[in-house]
Every structure is written in C-alpha cells, then in structure tokens.
C-alpha cells in the first residue's frame, strides 16, 4: 500500500510506518512497559459527535451547570433536568465509537495490564469493546433513586412530566451520573488512584483536566514515576507536568501510536 497524508497523520509507505519522533518515542515506551492507564474525557467522544462540556461549542457554553448538573437543580426543577438528560441520551444513543475509542481497545489488547478510566457517561468505550473500564462519573443510561440510591439497571424512558418514583422508598428517579458536589463511588475512585499510582505509562486524553478528583489522577501517576502523555487539542492545567504533549485529535493520534506498537510487536 502506498499512501501519504500530511501533518501528524499516519504516513504509510510500503507498509513501513513513518510518524513524528514524539509518537515514535511514546510507542516505544508503551511497547516496553507492563502497566498502562488511560484517562479519557469528553474530547475522546467529540469525533463521534458527542458535545464536550467546555470550550466554544461545549455544553456549558449553552447551559448552566448549576441549573442542570447538581442535586439542588434536580430537586428544584426535575422536569428541566430530565428534559436535558433525555436529549443527551437520544444524541448519545445515535452515535458510534470512533477511531480513538477503537485504538484504546487495541492498546488494551496489546498490553499486559491495562486500565481505562473514563469521565464519560456515554458508554462508547464499552461499545468499542474495551474491557477493563472504570466509569468515574456514572452512566447516562442507568437510573437511580434520589433518596435511597437503589440502582435501576434497565433503561426506562422517563417522561419529564411524570417522573417515576422508587418502588422501595418513593423517592424520585434520577440519572445515575455524578453531579457537582457529589462524591464519586468510593471503590471506583480508590481503584482509579491505585491503578494510576502503579502505572508506568499514563495517558490523559481529551480532558480539560479541571474537574476533580479525576484531574488529580495524572498528577498522582506522575508523582509515582509514570511517564505522562497528554493528547488534547489544546493545553490544559496538566500540560506543564506532562512528559509528552501531543496537540491534536485523539482519533488521529491514537491509531498512529497503536500501529507503531503493533509494528514493534511483529519484529
Ligand atoms: C479533544 C478533542 C479531540 C476536544 N481529541 N481532545 C479540588 C479543587 C477544586 C474543586 C474541587 C476539588 N475537588 C472537588 C472539587 C469540586 C468539583 C470540581 O472539580 N470543580 C471544578 C470544576 C472547579 N468536583 C466535584 O464536585 C466532584 N465531586 C467531588 O469532588 O466530591 C467530593 C466533594 C463533595 C462536596 C464538596 C467538595 C468535594 C464531582 C464532579 C462531577 C462532574 N460531573 C460532570 C457531569 C457528569 C454527568 C453528565 O455528563 O451529565 O462530569 S461535569 C463534566 O465535567 C462531566 C465531565 O466528566 C467532567 C470533565 O469534563 P471533561 O471530560 O474534561 O470535558 P471538557 O469539555 O471539560 O474537556 C474536553 C477536552 O477535550 C478539552 O480540553 C478539549 O480541548 C479536548 N478535545 N476534542 C482530543 N478530538
Ligand atoms: Zn428509593
């Protein structure tokens, strides 16, 4: 195959892969390490058509987080909150994983030990067949009781003007996502820190790295000696501590890294 594209995109000449020295270096580190952790944010799903939160086109440019993504907002206006979540569910239901999600699955298959930590609630990593996933901020398709936290696994369509009540305690049903001011699932966040701190190579991909505790994970990994790689369209608060920062789209960069690891494995 003879193909050539410009910039950071893959250049494949006579089946030998040529790419940037930085990507080459990262692939080399990945090839030689035992434990990789990947943290993703909304940016990984942007190329699938899921809106991000921050930035010009982000959801928080059009909607106020405190009116939609807090318990206070839900208690004072559950109909509006459900309308917003129904709109997002519908949007997410229609989209497919992109090349970035697929590359992460390939990276997992090429790794001895691999953990994917995602802040996303869209379920696209699962759909792309990544196996070891920690969902930090819940899942938009799951519901739970606002009072007793009973999980309602099956996707029930919620009518905003007739929000169902919990069969156990009568509390209102809400989406099982983590809103501002709410604690993350203790076991999930503990495992996320444990794996991050044990990792040799940590990728922070498509996250603005401003929401905690998720944004502390790359810092914790780096402090314990991991090589920190950031892939994002723009710099973030963690860029200054990253060993490698690649400015670009995850759906274009990640497949290059995976292709190079595969090439190294077949040598
Ligand atoms: C691309 C791309 C492409 C685009 N390729 N890249 C410490 C310090 C300060 C504050 C706090 C702190 N600890 C806790 C807090 C408070 C708060 C917080 O962090 N606030 C800050 C914002 C100031 N945190 C919390 O409240 C958390 N709870 C908690 O800590 O509990 C303990 C506690 C309780 C009470 C009091 C105090 C502490 C919970 C946070 C929950 C976040 N929830 C949301 C909504 C989830 C549900 C839903 O989806 O509906 O989670 S908010 C939203 O932000 C969502 C995301 O998961 C999260 C992170 O956003 P993300 O993924 O980074 O997206 P963006 O849009 O910000 O960035 C996208 C990036 O992609 C950009 O950088 C683009 O450039 C890039 N990009 N295309 C590569 N193709
Ligand atoms: Zn209940």
Can you give the pTM of this predicted structure? 0.93
Per-residue model confidence (pLDDT) at position 83: 94
Q: Strand, coil or helix: what is 231?
A: strand
pLDDT average, residue stretch 182-209: 98
pLDDT in tens, 62-112: 888 888 999 999 999 999 999 999 999 999 999 999 999 999 999 999 999
- Taken as a whole, the chain contains a residue count of 267
Pocket of ligand 1 (CB under 6 A): 41-43, 46-47, 52-55, 58, 69, 119, 121, 137, 177-183, 206-208, 210-213, 231-234, 236, 249-251
Residue reference for tokens 């080399």: 28
Q: Strand, coil or helix: what is 108?
A: helix
Q: Which residues surround ligand 2, an ion (CB under 5 A)?
A: 145, 147-148, 150, 166, 168-169, 171
Beta-carbon contacts of residue 147 (< 8 Å; ≥ 6 apart): 166, 169, 170, 171, 172
Helix boundaries (H) for 52-145: 59-62, 65-68, 71-76, 78-94, 99-110, 124-127
CA distance 111 to 172: 43
Question: Looking at ligand 1, which atom is closest to the CA of residue 65?
Answer: 52
With contact defined as beta carbons under 8 Å apart, do 31 and 261 qualify? yes
- Interval between CA 215 and ligand 1 midpoint (Å): 8
Beta-carbon contacts of residue 87 (< 8 Å; ≥ 6 apart): none
Could you say which DSSP state residue 165 is in? B
Best residue for ligand 1 mutational test, from 9, 41, 246 (most atoms within 8 Å of Cβ):
41
| Phi, psi angles (nearest 5°) of residue 38 | -120, 130
Helices then strands, counting H and E runs in the chain, come out as 11, 12
Residue reference for tokens 């009568």: 170
Domains of the chain: 21-49+98-137+181-267 (3.40.50.1220), 51-94+140-177 (3.30.1600.10)
CA distance 79 to 75: 10
pLDDT in tens, 3-32: 333 334 443 334 445 579 999 999 999 999
Best residue for ligand 1 mutational test, from 51, 176, 184, 211 (most atoms within 8 Å of Cβ):
211
């Amino acid at each position: 195959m003879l193909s050539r594209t410009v910039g950071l995109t893959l250049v494949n000449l006579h089946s030998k892969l040529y790419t940037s020295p930085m990507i080459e270096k990262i692939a080399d580190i990945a090839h030689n390490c035992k434990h990789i952790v990947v943290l993703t944010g909304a940016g990984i799903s942007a190329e699938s058509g899921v809106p991000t939160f921050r930035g010009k086109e982000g959801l928080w440019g059009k909607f106020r987080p405190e009116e939609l993504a807090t318990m206070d907002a839900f208690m004072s206006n559950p109909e509006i909150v459900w309308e917003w979540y129904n709109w997002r569910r519908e949007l997410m239901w229609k989209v497919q994983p992109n090349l970035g999600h697929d590359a992460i699955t390939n990276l997992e298959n090429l790794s001895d030990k691999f953990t994917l930590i995602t802040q996303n609630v869209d379920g696209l990593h699962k759909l792309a067949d990544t196996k070891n996933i920690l969902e930090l901020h819940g899942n938009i398709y799951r519901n739970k009781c606002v009072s007793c936290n009973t999980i309602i696994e099956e996707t029930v369509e919620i009518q905003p003007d007739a929000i169902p009540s919990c069969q156990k305690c009568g509390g209102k049903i809400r989406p099982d996502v983590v809103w501002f001011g709410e604690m993350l699932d203790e076991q999930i966040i503990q495992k996320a820190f444990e794996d991050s701190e044990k990792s040799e190579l940590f990728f922070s991909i498509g996250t603005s790295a401003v929401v905690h505790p998720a944004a502390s994970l790359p810092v914790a990994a780096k402090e314990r000696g991991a090589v920190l790689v950031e892939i994002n369209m723009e710099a973030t608060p963690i860029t200054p501590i990253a060993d490698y920062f690649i400015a670009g789209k995850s759906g274009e960069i990640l497949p290059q890294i995976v292709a190079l690891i595969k090439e190294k494995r077949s040598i």
